[in-house]
Amino acid sequence: EDQVTQSPEALRLQEGESSSLNCSYTVSGLRGLFWYRQDPGKGPEFLFTLYSAGEEKEKERLKATLTKKESFLHITAPKPEDSATYLCAVHSNSGYALNFGKGTSLLVTP
């Protein structure tokens, strides 16, 4: 059975303090790994898709990387508006469903 584990569960950073969020996965044939941002009471907002080990994607202060067993979401010099829950999800050979992790709740304080 596919498994997605995110760590840490919660992270508190000072504004400007860079860090990384981890997503480790066990799937039967990874077809794509997705990062979403979710604000309280809202739907997941798409950030990145990664398809193969070694791939990297960047958007503003965020950079996502992928290995054969895990993905990292690096946040460089975060701002308070980056506070949100970051969700990792995988798409495997088994079908259409996205399998989500529980997320990392990020709080960036001024």
CB of 100 to another protein, least distance (A): 4
Footprint on residues 14-43 left by another protein (CB under 8 A): 31-32, 34, 36, 41-43
Q: Work out whether 12 is an interface residue with another protein (CB under 8 A).
A: no
Footprint on residues 34-93 left by another protein (CB under 8 A): 34, 36, 41-46, 49, 51, 87, 89, 91-93
75, 103, 108: which is closest to 9 by C-alpha?
A: 103
Q: What's the number of CA atoms in the CB half-sphere (13 Å) around residue 72?
A: 11
**Dihedral, 5, 9, 12, 15 alpha carbons, nearest 10:** 30
User: Please, which residue, 78 or 101, has the CB nearer to another protein?
Assistant: 101
